[in-house]
Structure 1
Amino acid sequence: MRINWDYIKLTVLLVAVVALYGFADQRNERRMVENVTVKFVGENSLYLTEDAVNKLLIQNYGPLENRPKEQLVLNTIEEVILSNDMVKNAQVYLTVNGELVSKIVQRKPIGRVEGVSKFYLDDEGNRMPLSKHHSARVPIITGKITGKTLEDAYVILDYINKDDFLRKNIIGIHILEEEKYQLKFRMENFVVNLGGVDNLNKKFSNFMAFYAKAAKDNSLEDYATVSLEFNNQVVCTKI
């Protein structure tokens, strides 16, 4: 009977590879977490600190350093981090060197509500608590705060944030009632009666045309109100 040595060699090699892989995998699972790192992703990382994240993890798991890697459930750690109201997204992973890394995206406020309750509106239109670490420079929302008017305020803020001039100059939205919103500008004395959130593109296009002409004529200070409520026209009231 002829022995197929090539077949035997291949079999032995495969067994050796599987054994080495199993040994390395088992050894890796027994390794300890060497250190814990928190990384904030993006520019909007002012409302939550690394210390606050570490404290949150310790409260739920105790110290994570010098813990066996096999004891950690990364999805559960992510869920704990996501439970913080300042967190938009989180990714947790272990490196080959035993480093536990948490990459965190913080929520972005675009407006601040000043009413019976005080909170931010974030860039997805959801309520976001104020932060003790940083106060965002965003338009202040005042007046008649309801679920519907906050939805409309978000639509206005979302539009404002897409335009460089409006984003830099509008500092407040005052809600008189549903479909009646006023805008306050940083450097001007007049208020802008926006009306509702319909036809925002046309309303702001008309406003920008008025503003450019009034700035050229040096007459911006002459106006008390600028109304965009009426179709295809800007109605102004002088002081």
Structure 2
Amino acid sequence: MKNKWRILKILVTVILFGFLLSFSLKRFNNARMENVSINMNQGKTPVYFIDEKDIKDLVKQYNPTKKIGDVKIPELETKINENPFVDSANVFMNLNGNLNIDIKQRVPVFRLSKKGKDFYVDEKGVEFPISKNFSYPCMLVMGDVEASEYQELGRLIEKIDKDDFCKKYFIGIKKEKGGYNLLTSDGHFKVELGDLENIDFKVQGFKTFVEKYLVYQNPQKYKKVSVKYNNQIVTTLNPYFKDNDSMLRNAPKIEIVKTEEKPVQLLAATPVKTEATPEPKKEAKKADVKKESTKPKTTEKKSPPKKSTEKKKETSSKPSSDKKKKAKVIVE
């Protein structure tokens, strides 16, 4: 009998508890939703792509009656996650009947201009559009960058942002002919990186170039500084810089004159020796021939070798001028 009474008591308590629970749940579901709390989880760099008003409008769509029991929490959560500016979202209801929404927005690493379209790329390599309400200051990247390079390119930009030296010099990245170039703020030159391998070593090479050479020169002197080669820095001069213009034009001329003067002197010296030796013979002939009066004939015979020497000089000078013209084209 005692066991029966115990079982009966348990059954009665369970029924009463179930009745009270159903009654409280029904009352709770029919209650009006008092508050909607939206928490935008911000990191070190705050972003404002999403407005709280937009999220509240979504809540109204999924709860038109404003009752707690009519809120479709799973559907609302998936809808918020479909927003391209949202990295992750969590929607839940507390015991007080308040709806809580935690949202983490995407943070751009760089802005990519590709095939006439502009969009952001986050640290995960996900593309998302540019917002009309908010513009995030980040590195601008131009060129046909492949999606597989997004994360590696993001790591390069992260290193630039953390380094005060790089952050001062580099303002953009451009991909040209399969290689990357860093655009600088000081001067009109660009830094050629090549591929994205050994980035630390390449950036360190540019630092040494700036500290040892560029500090004492005008940055506009250079058009390009290449650090893509191993243990080597190659610079290209700016042809529109005034000092470079004189240097590019005068330096090759000096080298060409030095190499061309020697053969010209040799060609001019050989006929002089032949003319110097027969001079005594000419005087003797003149003494003997005075009686015969054949002076015009001797002059006619002597004139052709002089013309030949002049032709030799002319022919020797012509190739030098032609060579000078070719060298100018190569230098330019």
- Would the TM-score normalized by the shorter structure come out above 0.5? yes
In the other structure, the counterpart of 1:160 is 157
- Judge conservation of contact 1:113–1:140 (CA < 8 Å) in 2: yes
Separation in structure 2 between the aligned mates of residue 192 and residue 153 of structure 1, nearest angstrom: 20
- Cα deviation for residue 231 of structure 1 reads 1.6
Q: Report the count of equivalent residues.
A: 230
1:106 alignment partner AA: Q
Matches within 5 A, 1:73-84: 73-84=72-83
| Contact 2:112-2:121 within 8 A present in 1 as well | yes
C-alpha spacing 1:52/1:211, structure 2 compared with 1 (3 Å)? farther
Question: In the superposition, relative to structure 1, how do residues 183 and 151 fare at CA in structure 2: closer, same or farther (>3 Å)?
Answer: farther
Deviates more, 1:42-51 or 1:23-32: 23-32
Q: 1:172 maps to which residue?
A: 172
C-alpha distance in 2 between matches for 1:27 and 1:141: 57
Q: Is the 8 A contact 2:47 2:136 kept in 1?
A: no
Provide the residue aligned with 2:299 in structure 1.
none
- Segments of 5+ residues of structure 2 without an aligned counterpart are 239-332
| Pairwise CA distance, 1:16 | 4.8
- Percent of matched pairs sharing the same residue: 27
Higher-Rg structure is 2
Task: Normalising by structure 1, report the TM-score.
Answer: 0.80
Equivalent residue number for residue 180 of structure 2? 181
Partner of 2:121: 121
Structure 1 residue 167 displacement after superposition: 5.0
Distance 1:135 1:187, change over 3 A: farther
Gaps of 5+ in 1: none
Q: Contact 1:160–1:167 (CA<8 Å) still a contact in 2? A: no
Contact 1:39 1:102 in 2 (8 A): yes
* Structure-2 separation of matches of 1:8 and 1:132: 68
User: Residues 194 and 90 from structure 1, CA distance in 2 versus in 1: closer, same or farther, beyond 3 angstroms?
Assistant: same
What pairs with 1:80-159 in structure 2 (closer than 5 Å)? Answer: 80-115=79-114, 116-143=116-143, 145-146=144-145, 148=146, 150-152=147-149, 154-159=151-156
Q: What is the alpha-carbon distance in structure 2 between the residues aligned to residue 93 and residue 49 of structure 1? A: 19
Which residue of the partner structure matches residue 49 of structure 1? 51
Larger relative strand fraction: 1
Larger relative contact order (Cα-Cα within 8 Å, sequence gap ≥ 6) = 1
Residue 161 of structure 1: SS of its match in structure 2? Answer: helix
The 1-side partners of 2:209 and 2:148 are apart by 28
What is the CA distance between 1:173 and its match in structure 2? 1.0
RMSD: 3.0
Amino acid at match of 2:156: Y
